[in-house]
Amino acid sequence: MAMRKEDTIKLVSAEGFEFVIDRKAAVVSDTLKSMLNSTGSNIRDAELGEVKLPEISTPVLEKVCEFFYWSLQFSNGIETEFDIEPEMTSDLMRAANLLHT
């Protein structure tokens, strides 16, 4: 299923890994939302549809993307559990803080 360019966002981790997710999922994060909706639409990120997150490591970023999708599912009424590994917790918290999720 080919996704159109405008519907997806690319999140790039500290190590340079690229995660492609739906725009819908990305805007679960307020920060990402305002980045992408910035009125100064001449801000680069919005145009490219790509956000660099050098502060967030890859596994953490992966978990974050998972969380986005899980959150969408949850708000649609499907309640599942979201597993978090204990060691990842603090990093995850920091990422969440940054992204306002």
Partner 1 sequence: MSTSKKKAFRIEPFKHKVEIDPKYAERTWKVLDEAICEIYNHNASGLSFEELYRNAYNMVLHKYGDKLYMGLVDTLSRHLKNMASTIEAAQGGLFLEELNRNWLEHNKALQMIRDILMYMDRTYVPNYNKTPVHELGLNLWRDYVVRYPKIKARLLDTLLDLVYRERSGEVINRGLMRNITKMLMDLGIDVYQEDFEKPFLEAASGFYKLESQEFIECCDCGDYLKKAERRLNEEIERVSHYLDPKSETKITAVVEREMIASHMNRLVEMENSGLVHMLIDDRYEDLGRMYSLFKRVSGGLGLVRDVMTSHLRETGRQLVTDPEKLKDPVEFVQRLLDEKDKYDKIITTAFINDKTFQNALNSSFEYFINLNPRSPEFISLFVDDKLRKGLKGVSEEDVETVLDKVMMLFRYLQEKDVFEKYYKQHLAKRLLSSKSVSDDAERSLIVKLKTECGYQFTSKLEGMFTDMKTSKDTMQGFNAVVSNADSSESPTLSVQVLTTGYWPTQSGAVCNLPAEILAVCEKFKTYYLSTHTGRRLTWQTNMGTADLKATFGKGQKHELNVSTYNMCILMFFNNVNSMTYKEIEQATEIPALDLKRSLQSLACVKGKNVLRKEPMSKDISEDDVFVFNDKFTSKFYKVKIGTVAAQKETEPEKQETRQKVEEDRKPQIEAAIVRIMKSRRVLDHNNIVSEVTKQLQSRFLPNPAVIKKRIESLIEREFLERDKNDRKVYRYLA
Q: 37-68: buried (b, 16+ CB within 10 Å) or exposed (e) per residue? A: eeeeeeeeebeebebebeebbebbbbbbbbbb
- Residue 30 touches partner 1, criterion: CB under 8 A: yes
- Residue 54 touches partner 1, criterion: CB under 8 A: yes
- Amino acid residing at 73: Q
Report the residue number, 6 or 76, with the smaller CB distance to partner 1. 6
- Residue 44 touches partner 1, criterion: CB under 8 A: yes
Chain residues that interact with partner 1, rule: CB under 8 A: 30-31, 34-35, 38-40, 42-46, 51-55, 83, 85-87, 89-90, 97-98, 100
